[in-house]
């Protein structure tokens, strides 16, 4: 089946990135609260120009836009993990805080996961998040995903003022195709 370039939900258009998305991207990737749990720091305008261009040819990244005014309000990462034959796909998401608390992340993630299971032959969708990122794991539970693991101090993304790694715990979540198709039918 051909890969989709566009997915529509009630309120949202989910599409490929374009070079001119950098301004909307900058609105949220320049916010320290937004990138707090991400493996990167805040983005400058120039970083966002480069990132929008890079994402425009990276099929793992989806731009989530409001139907009413085409505003880009967030992004989803959805990518097959190696080895390919396991058909495990990872999902991630980052949204503009102006648009949190409206169900947009859930609506778009649900559509992407559904696309993955129904059309990309995904067998299992997984997600990872920091236990302190309550909004993130509540979203995963809203999507019907199961918490399968709590890894203790397994990873660091950032260092403290002395240059020492800040070790973080990780929750691992997953859902299988058969569970999703039962749950969403």
Ligand X SMILES: CC(C)(COP(=O)(O)OP(=O)(O)OC[C@H]1O[C@@H](n2cnc3c(N)ncnc32)[C@H](O)[C@@H]1OP(=O)(O)O)[C@@H](O)C(=O)NCCC(=O)NCCS
Interface residues with ligand X (CB under 6 A) are: 34, 37, 93-95, 100-106, 129, 133, 135-136, 139, 142
Residue 84: CB minimum distance to ligand X, A: 24
Closest to ligand X by CB, 148 vs 178, is: 148
Residue 122: CB minimum distance to ligand X, A: 19
Catalogue the long-range contacts made by 53-59 (C-beta closer than 8 Å, 24 or more residues apart).
53/19, 53/22, 55/17, 55/21, 56/16, 56/17, 56/18, 56/19, 56/21, 58/17, 59/3, 59/16
Contacts of 39 (CB under 8 A, 6+ apart): 157
Closest to ligand X by CB, 3 vs 52, is: 52
Question: Using CB atoms, what's the residue nearest to ligand X?
Answer: 103
Residue 118: CB minimum distance to ligand X, A: 21
Q: Three-state DSSP class for 36?
A: coil
Contacts of 106 (CB under 8 A, 6+ apart): 139, 142, 143
Closest to ligand X by CB, 37 vs 115, is: 37
Residue 51: CB minimum distance to ligand X, A: 15
Closest to ligand X by CB, 87 vs 170, is: 170
């Amino acid at each position: 089946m051909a890969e989709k370039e566009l997915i529509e939900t009630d309120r949202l258009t989910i599409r490929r990135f374009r070079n001119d998305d950098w301004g909307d991207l900058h609105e949220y990737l320049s916010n320290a609260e937004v990138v707090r749990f991400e493996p990167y720091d805040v983005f400058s305008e120039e970083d966002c120009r480069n990132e929008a261009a890079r994402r425009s040819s990276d099929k793992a990244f989806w731009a989530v836009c409001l139907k009413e005014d085409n505003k880009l309000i967030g992004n989803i990462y959805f990518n097959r993990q190696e080895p390919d034959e396991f058909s495990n796909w990872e999902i991630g998401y980052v949204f503009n805080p102006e648009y949190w608390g409206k169900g947009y992340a859930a609506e778009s993630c649900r559509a992407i996961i559904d696309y993955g299971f129904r059309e990309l032959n995904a067998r299992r969708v997984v997600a990872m998040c920091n236990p302190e990122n309550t909004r993130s794991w509540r979203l995963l539970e809203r999507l019907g995903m199961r918490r399968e693991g709590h890894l203790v101090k397994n990873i660091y993304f950032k260092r403290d003022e002395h240059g020492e790694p800040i070790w973080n715990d990780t929750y691992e979540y997953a859902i299988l195709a058969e569970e999703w198709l039962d749950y969403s039918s």
